[in-house]
């Protein structure tokens, strides 16, 4: 099937078609997926209930033509949608849609009425029987939530019902056919927009909690893309059906499918550029999300608790205002602003570096943001860490040097979080490369000031925290980008953190020519490389804690021994996951986390060192 799409569609559009028709998203690059995510249309790239619903609508149109007996068409519909659910690996949203349609068809065969919530409960029981974890997946929850919302909303007369007055119906039927067509089109568009709005509002708390995203543009975009989406869906299936026997017709269907997909992608990319069309936010508190859905469930299940529409709208607006105050408002970081400690988190980004430092006054800085390979490997854990801490603004971003595994996630970080300033070494942009040009453009387009930083720069102390740049000198040193890494020393109440980037010869010797340091927390230079002279660096810094920020599969046994031989406790992000240190007057508290940073930190080990 995938080969047929690749044969009859252009390569780029064939990748989208595979995702939409077959659920194969591995071929779609992360940037395109990002566009669909931010505009609230990512469900188009996954086999979902929307796909099954569109297929059912098309099948129903054919059935109403009367070409085949009614009972035969109903049985064929049941078999067709069960086959499609199995063909697409029985994904929970597709199974839910297939169960709803099959029950509806069986009810019509028996002359009975299918109740929406009973049918939805049956679908839930089937999914629980197949795999109990299905109902805990975000896609499954959103799918059931959307159907339940539509079922409840159908009771609103001004939305769905035809005029009750026979005279009004007679007047409506007596109008000229162009007027009737326009009127029905307008009513359908209105219903589509209201449905999109209501579903978006009801799903918003769950989307904020699971995906950290608010996309108001989705309210307007989703109804617009439904038409080209339907055309792409039917023409794409025509390619799959005709490709084996009638290649010319498959080529024609492929052309229609590719044009429809091009329209969808153009609309999505245009919507992504609209100001305030989307915003990344931290997760709201779980109690806020649960309370919202409990209140809705009570209003639906217990008629006595229902309130007037204007009061419902007012209470909903107040509740969302509270949620935004707890996520992006002044209440989001009130505890951090009154903290008496410095928190330093070494984020697990694979072979790369990213260190988050939180100051007692609530200010934050990020030292490096990158990973070897695609930037997505770094963006996801960095964003998850920041959101879990309630951070939406970075006061400063330090980029140690011009290696991609230290900066390739910065553009995506700037899309999700605001920043006060970006610091780079004086030789950062000495050589022009496409990646560095893209980095500079991303910083410029976000309006973030870009400043150079060297050993002569004096950074202002804040909240009792002092910053010192030990390297590089203003003119840099002769050698690689690694040798010119920014070495940042952070001091708070007599305790220090040292972040040396990928420091190596000759910059390493330049730094170690100064007076030895007494440090508490040190990041091993160059991801724990032997070229960073671990024995000499350990003797010069005398650290108590050493963190190796690197990927799995690399032997760092000799480096670990060198630092442990000097009396340090060594942790590795590839083994221990994200590593967090909390420095206060009482001592240093160490927290380690699983390698895959979830939305909320999962603590594996904890120890406290009293000084």
- What gap in Å lies between CA 523 and CA 509, rounded to an integer? 17
Of 131-135, 481-485, 518-522, 607-611, where does mean pLDDT reach its minimum?
607-611
pLDDT at position 337 over 70 = no
Taking CB atoms within 8 Å and a gap of at least 24, the contacts of 32-35 are 32/265, 34/412, 35/265, 35/268, 35/269, 35/272
**H/E segment holding residue 60:** helix 49-63
pLDDT at position 554 over 90 = no
The predicted-structure confidence for 462-495, as pLDDT tens digits, reads as follows 888 999 999 999 988 888 889 999 999 999 988 9
pLDDT at position 123 over 50 = yes
pLDDT at position 386 over 50 = yes
**H/E segment holding residue 586:** none
pLDDT value at position 95?
79
Instruction: Give the pLDDT mean for 273-278.
Output: 89
pLDDT value at position 147?
80
The more confidently predicted of residues 47 and 530 is 530
Q: What is the pTM of this model?
A: 0.77
Which band of pLDDT confidence, cut at 50, 70 and 90, is reported for residue 155?
low
pLDDT at position 603 over 50 = no
- What gap in Å lies between CA 260 and CA 255, rounded to an integer? 9
pLDDT at position 609 over 50 = no
List helix spans (H) across 88-215. 92-110, 116-130, 138-153, 157-160, 166-174, 177-211
Most confident of 19-28, 30-39, 265-274: 265-274
pLDDT value at position 329?
64
Instruction: Give the pLDDT mean for 342-363.
Output: 93
- Assigned token pair, 467: 């910053």
Is residue 350 left, alpha or beta, with left meaning phi > 0 and alpha meaning psi from -120 to 50?
left
Instruction: Give the pLDDT mean for 401-425.
Output: 94
pLDDT at position 156 over 60 = no
The predicted-structure confidence for 430-474, as pLDDT tens digits, reads as follows 888 899 999 999 999 999 999 999 998 888 888 889 999 999 999
- Assigned token pair, 428: 């950062």
pLDDT value at position 608?
33
pLDDT value at position 162?
53
**H/E segment holding residue 295:** helix 286-301
pLDDT value at position 605?
35
pLDDT value at position 396?
96
Instruction: Give the pLDDT mean for 517-526.
Output: 94
Q: In angstroms, how far is CA 603 from the centroid of its own chain?
A: 22
- What gap in Å lies between CA 545 and CA 530, rounded to an integer? 18
pLDDT value at position 338?
61
Concatenating the DSSP letter of every residue in 349-383 gives -SSEEEEEEE-TTS-EEEEEEEESS-THHHHHHHH
The predicted-structure confidence for 555-602, as pLDDT tens digits, reads as follows 788 999 999 998 999 999 998 999 999 998 888 888 876 443 433 333
CA atoms within 13 A on the CB side of 232: 28
Phi, psi of 403 (to 5 degrees): -100, 135
- Assigned token pair, 21: 């028709």
- What gap in Å lies between CA 420 and CA 417, rounded to an integer? 10
pLDDT at position 422 over 60 = yes
Of 297-306, 398-407, 566-575, 584-593, where does mean pLDDT reach its minimum?
297-306
Percent of the chain with pLDDT over 90: 34
pLDDT at position 284 over 90 = no
Instruction: Give the pLDDT mean for 324-351.
Output: 78
CA distances (Å), origin 556, targets 324, 531, 569: 44, 12, 14
Which band of pLDDT confidence, cut at 50, 70 and 90, is reported for residue 611?
very low
Count Cβ atoms within 10 A of the Cβ of residue 20 and give its class: 0-12 exposed, 13-18 middle, 19 or more buried. buried
pLDDT value at position 69?
76
Instruction: Give the pLDDT mean for 381-392.
Output: 88
The more confidently predicted of residues 46 and 17 is 17
Instruction: Give the pLDDT mean for 512-541.
Output: 92
Which band of pLDDT confidence, cut at 50, 70 and 90, is reported for residue 158?
very low
Mean pLDDT, the chain, integer: 83
pLDDT value at position 168?
66
pLDDT value at position 193?
84
Count Cβ atoms within 10 A of the Cβ of residue 55 and give its class: 0-12 exposed, 13-18 middle, 19 or more buried. buried
Which band of pLDDT confidence, cut at 50, 70 and 90, is reported for residue 368?
very high
pLDDT at position 157 over 60 = no
pLDDT at position 1 over 70 = no
- What gap in Å lies between CA 16 and CA 6, rounded to an integer? 10
Q: In angstroms, how far is CA 328 from the centroid of its own chain?
A: 17
pLDDT at position 342 over 50 = yes
């Amino acid at each position: 099937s995938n080969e047929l799409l690749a044969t009859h569609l252009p390569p780029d559009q064939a990748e989208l078609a595979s995702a939409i028709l077959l659920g194969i998203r591995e071929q779609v690059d992360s940037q395109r997926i990002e566009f669909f995510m931010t505009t609230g249309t990512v469900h188009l790239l996954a086999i979902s209930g929307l796909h099954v619903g569109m297929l059912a609508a098309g099948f129903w149109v054919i059935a109403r033509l009367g070409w085949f007996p009614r009972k035969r068409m109903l049985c064929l519909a049941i078999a067709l949608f069960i086959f499609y659910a199995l063909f697409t690996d029985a994904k929970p949203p597709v199974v839910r849609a297939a169960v709803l349609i099959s029950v509806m068809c069986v009810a019509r065969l028996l002359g009975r009425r299918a109740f929406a919530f009973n049918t939805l409960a049956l679908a839930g029981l089937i999914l629980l029987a197949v795999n109990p974890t299905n109902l805990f997946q975000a896609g499954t929850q959103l799918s059931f939530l959307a159907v339940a919302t539509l079922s409840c909303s159908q009771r609103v007369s001004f939305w769905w019902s035809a005029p009750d007055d026979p005279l009004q119906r007679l007047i409506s039927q007596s109008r000229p056919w162009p007027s009737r067509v326009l009127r029905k089109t307008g009513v359908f568009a209105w219903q589509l927009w209201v449905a999109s709005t209501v579903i978006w509002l009801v799903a918003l708390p769950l989307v904020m909690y699971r995906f950290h995203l608010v996309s108001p543009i989705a309210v307007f975009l989703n109804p617009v893309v439904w038409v080209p989406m339907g055309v792409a869906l039917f023409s794409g299936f025509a390619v799959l059906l005709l490709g084996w026997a009638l290649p010319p017709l498959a080529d024609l269907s492929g052309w229609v499918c590719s044009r429809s997909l091009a329209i969808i992608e153009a609309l999505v990319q245009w919507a992504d550029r609209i100001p305030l069309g989307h915003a990344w936010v931290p997760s709201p508190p779980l109690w806020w999300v649960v309370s919202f859905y409990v209140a809705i469930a009570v209003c639906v299940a217990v008629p006595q608790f229902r309130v007037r529409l204007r009061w419902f709208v007012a209470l909903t607006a107040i509740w969302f205002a509270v949620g935004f105050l707890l996520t992006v408002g002044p209440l989001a970081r009130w505890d951090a602003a009154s903290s008496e400690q410095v928190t330093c988190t070494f984020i697990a980004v694979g072979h790369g570096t990213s260190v988050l430092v939180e100051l007692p006054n609530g200010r934050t800085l990020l030292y490096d943001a990158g990973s070897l390979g695609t930037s997505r490997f770094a963006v996801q854990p960095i964003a998850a860490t920041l959101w879990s801490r309630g951070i939406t603004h970075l006061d400063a971003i330090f980029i140690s040097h011009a290696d991609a595994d230290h900066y390739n996630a910065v553009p995506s970080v700037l899309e999700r979080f605001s920043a006060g300033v970006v610091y780079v070494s004086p030789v950062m942009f000495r050589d022009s490369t496409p990646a560095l040009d893209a980095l500079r453009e991303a910083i410029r387009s976000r309006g973030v000031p870009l400043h150079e930083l060297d050993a002569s720069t004096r950074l202002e102390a804040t909240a009792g925290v002092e910053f010192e740049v030990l390297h590089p000198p203003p003119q840099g040193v002769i050698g690689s980008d690694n040798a010119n890494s920014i070495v940042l020393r952070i001091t708070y109440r007599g305790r220090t953190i040292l972040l040396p980037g990928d420091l190596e010869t000759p910059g390493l010797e330049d730094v170690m020519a100064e007076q030895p340091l007494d440090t508490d927390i040190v990041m091993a230079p160059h991801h724990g490389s032997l070229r960073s002279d671990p024995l000499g660096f350990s003797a010069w810094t005398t650290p108590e804690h050493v963190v190796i920020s690197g990927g799995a599969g690399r032997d760092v046994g000799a480096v670990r021994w060198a630092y442990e031989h000097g009396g340090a406790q060594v942790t590795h992000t590839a083994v221990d996951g994200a590593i967090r240190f909390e420095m206060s007057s009482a001592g240093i508290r160490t927290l380690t986390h699983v390698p895959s940073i979830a939305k909320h930190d999962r603590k594996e080990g904890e120890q406290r060192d009293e000084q």
